[in-house]
Amino acid sequence: MRSIVECVPNFSNGRDPEVYGRIVDAISSVKGVQVLDVSADPDHNRTVVTYVGPPDEAVEAGYRAIAKAKELIDLDQHQGEHPRIGATDVFPFIPIKGVTMGDCVALAQQLGKRVGEGLGVAVYLYGAAATRPERESLAAIRKGQYELWRDEVATNPERTPDYGPAVPQKWGATVIGARPFLIAYNLYLNSNDVAIAEKVAKAVRFSSGGWRYVQAKGFLVEGQAQVSMNLTNFEKTPIHRVQEAVRREAAQYGLTVTHAELVGLIPQKALLDSAKWYLQLDDLPDEQVLELRLQSSPEQDGSDESEVVHMGRFAAMVADRTPTPGGGSVSALVGALGASLAQMSAELTVDRKKYAHVREEVQNILTEAEAIRHELIEAVNEDAASFEGILRVVRNKEMDEEAKAAAMEAATIHAGEVPLRVARLSRDAARLAKTMATIGNVNAATDAAVGAIMARAAVYGAELNVKVNGVGLKNRELAAAWAREVDALVEETEQLAAEAREIAEEHGGL
């Protein structure tokens, strides 16, 4: 499986294409790295670059970019609307494919050490890579911006960098870390009053009592008030809900949202979720969207056996002489098949007049089973990626012993949490399948029972993976908690599968 990491470095120049163009060229010079987006804002005097690549190449591109920014940008001469602390202000690693958050923490540490030692730039680790709780927040590290950092770094112990010298330099400091995908989203108001934009921002941002996973600040951009936001978890705080919150707050001042702006890239799911919400398509499955349906289908080769071939490829990958995909991925797939059978039974029941009395319950089961199926399919790759994350830490020769131990603990925790989630979801799939065997179309009762049995197998497989990862944990309390929970899940799913089989046998006269 090819590993892909995303990097979204922010550079403190958005007005001189010659400067930020040379930084982008430095990134592009690394083979295997692809620059996806360059967003320069002259008012903020800031350029956000989005690029992807394999982990090692992403680190090399980051090093070259930071070196070039150090050469070209003088923070003593810099002015702009956006807070900043360095020439390369912030540099996050984001897991995309075959890469875990633990891997990204290790990459942040690797790049931070190289930059600190090789370039003489003060480096602070933030987000998931933070070395102390107060440094998890970028805003906390950047408090007072470059000017206060310059005045305090040599004398204030709280400003001591994780890597590099505690010496004020004209290129400032760089904040490197690991985080989930972030959406940079700006809304413009029909006003030139920046004070109102700041009041709206204060109302919606989490730090002052607003929405969880929302960071916001008010700016004046080209004479128009702007509410600038970072959405750090679009699945838990969706973009459309934030937009409506800004709209309501602005209305209190007699204002409205005139237009929106994205900085960088946005996941397709965020847009689709918003489209479903605004169009009130609450029950729209992703497969009903043409492009997504085509993407989810195996490549057609003119043969009726193409889908069998597609599944055969996965079986061949499992059989290959590589550690991944292995038992964890197979457990997730088996759980997904269990959820699929529960969903199938619901599909064969929901619109039948004979079962009209349970239609609402079956519709809810259908929706829940589909969601579980999607999550378990995602876990197939995530489980493989989590194991590869452990291997990546083992093979890393650049981290010191303490950093390597911390990275290994983080990678092991993630590797145990994935199968634990698989066990929980598969238990839920078994519950739905058992219910469908009970109330659903009698002609699909055995299918539903097979779904519960598949879910039971998935839980058994996940149990082994949870416990084997627990053996390697230094946090013995967490390992014990994992074991207790997964034992309970095994017992519960065993009972559900047995009951589903008994019901199916009764319906079928077996």
Q: CA geometry: angle at 39 spanning 37 and 40, to 5°?
A: 150
- Can 310 be counted among the known catalytic residues? no
Tokens, residue 322:
């590589």
Question: Residue 225 burial (CB < 10 Å; 0-12/13-18/19+)?
Answer: buried
In degrees to the nearest 10, what's the CA dihedral of 178, 180, 181, 184?
A: -80
Sign of the torsion angle spanned by Cα atoms 130, 131, 134, 138: negative
Cα 313 from Cα 335, distance rounded (Å): 19
Of 152, 53, 173, 58, give the one whose Cα is nearest residue 108. Answer: 58
Q: Where are the alpha helices (DSSP H) in 282-398?
A: 290-296, 306-319, 327-347, 359-395
Is 82 part of the annotated catalytic residue set?
yes
Q: Which of 41, 383, 428, 447 is catalytic?
A: 383
Distance CA(131)–CA(125), nearest Å, equals 7
Q: Give the relative orientation of helices 359-395 and 401-439 as an angle to the nearest 10 degrees.
A: 160
> What DSSP element (H or E) covers 429?
helix 401-439
* Spatial separation of the C-alpha atoms in residues 459 and 403, rounded to whole Å: 33
Catalytic residue among 41, 44, 78, 82: 82
Structure tokens at 118: 């090789």
- What angle (nearest 5°) sits at the alpha carbon of residue 97, between those of residues 64 and 452? 165
What backbone phi and psi angles, to 5 degrees, belong to 216? Answer: -150, 150
Please give the positions annotated as active site.
82, 383
